[in-house]
Amino acid sequence: MARGINIGDEVAITATVRRRVTEDRVSVSIPSYGFPHSIVDRASKVKKGQPIELTGHVTHIDGEWVTVNLGVPVTVNIDTLRLVTAYKPPTRKAPLVDKAT
């Protein structure tokens, strides 16, 4: 498929912190995504301009554009993604059909 990234893979996007919206929410700027995005960030105390890594699963691939589920679908350019874990379909231990008797 497209540069080693397929549907179901877990990918990471490096976003930049824009500002802290509330005590537990941060606004981030995602490369090649034209809209602001906000995430819940209770644990860390990131500051403006710091990079933060967002991970999600690929749900759709359309040429150079990939849709990643980060809680909400986000469509970004494939060059901004980093593969974390490739999808491995579940294996079947028992046969799907019973043996003929």
pTM of the model as a whole: 0.79
Residues 63-80 pLDDT 10s: 899 999 998 999 999 999
Residues 27-51 pLDDT 10s: 999 999 988 888 888 777 888 899 9
Assign 62 to helix, strand or coil.
strand
The closest alpha carbon to 29, from 44, 12, 9, 13, belongs to 13
Higher pLDDT, 61 or 99: 61
Any residues with CB less than 8 A from the CB of 21 and at least 6 apart, and which?
A: 27, 38
